Chain A
Amino acid sequence: MDGQLKRGLLDVCVLAAIKDEASYGYQIIKDLKPYVALSESTLYTILKRLEAEKSLTVKAAEHGGRLRKYYAITDRGKQRIEEFRNDWEALLSIYQFITKEAKPSE
């Protein structure tokens, strides 16, 4: 898959995983496992990027005698998911155009 496209897609996937309630690294990977295999280092990079653009906030909380980082979505993050929905419709029509063009060569 095209790197740029995949990057944007993974960003939205991670945002969707924390959309309803704040979550932590391992839980995000587990939640996304049925859809995308995300390595820890890839997730780390995505989380850092989303934090930098203020799509999520990070908060350390105590859990079982140790600290665990929880990631919570912001309004800007929700807006990104919304933008993705709009983009997707445009992408779908492009997809239809591409597959239609490809047919005669079959």
Chain B
Amino acid sequence: MNKLDFLDALRVKLSDLPESDREERLAFYGEMIDDQIEDGLTEEDAVAAIGTVDDVAAQIHAETPLLAIVKEKITPKRSLRTWEIVLLVLGAPLWIPLLISTLAVVLSVYIVMWAVVLSLYAADLALAISALGCAAITVVWLLTGNPLGAGCALGATLVCAGLTILLFWGCAFATKGVVALTRLLRARRRKR
């Protein structure tokens, strides 16, 4: 067996090693064979002195940490990665706008939810101000001798105040709901 045949056969046997590691080892053996030839051995003898391909491969495997082999196994082969990169680059005009619009939709839905909550609070505030206004009118009409009007205004005051309290519960409930939803989404993203 000549040097090239030996190295080719060894390359096949070591295909489960990381590429850089494998080529470095092959260069090391190549140098060994060259040096032995320079020392006076024939190429055949120099190759034979290294040992059989199977023995050498078995010895290398015994000395290589399992981690290096496992890493090589779980890393996708280079050709596959290249294809993935090509697809990603070629598909960029398609998937980048899609990604942006998806994110925009998610973001706007989220903003709308908070807007609903905010408008609920605004409505509640308006009701509270109306209650105060009606109360003021009640007092004014009582003092100016308009008991009928004052009675109506008092009723309006009570209605506004009651609605304010009821709506405030609604506001609190909606706020809690949106906060809980935010937490849920965040937890799910972390899980992924």
Docked-complex contact A41 and B59, CB < 8 angstroms: yes
Contact of A40 among B29, B34, B38, B39 (CB under 8 A): B29
- The B contact surface, by secondary structure, is helix
Docked-complex contact A39 and B59, CB < 8 angstroms: yes
Cβ of A42 within 8 Å of any chain B Cβ, yes or no, is yes
Smallest Cβ-Cβ distance to B61: which chain A residue: A41
Interface residues of A (CB under 8 A from B): 24-27, 29, 39-42, 44-45, 64, 66-69
Number of chain B interface residues as a range: 10 to 19
Complex-state Cα separation, A26 to B60, whole angstroms? 18
Complex-state Cα separation, A41 to B38, whole angstroms? 20
Docked-complex contact B31 and A41, CB < 8 angstroms: no
Contact of B39 among A26, A39, A69 (CB under 8 A): A26
Residues of B within 8 Å of A40, CB to CB, are: 28-29, 32, 50-51, 56
Complex-state Cα separation, A2 to B8, whole angstroms? 35
CB<8 Å pairs between A and B, sample of 28? A24-B35, A25-B28, A25-B31, A25-B32, A25-B35, A26-B31, A26-B32, A26-B35, A26-B36, A27-B35, A39-B59, A40-B28, A40-B29, A40-B32, A41-B25, A41-B56, A41-B60, A42-B63, A44-B25, A44-B28, A45-B63, A66-B31, A66-B34, A67-B31, A68-B31, A68-B34, A69-B28, A69-B31
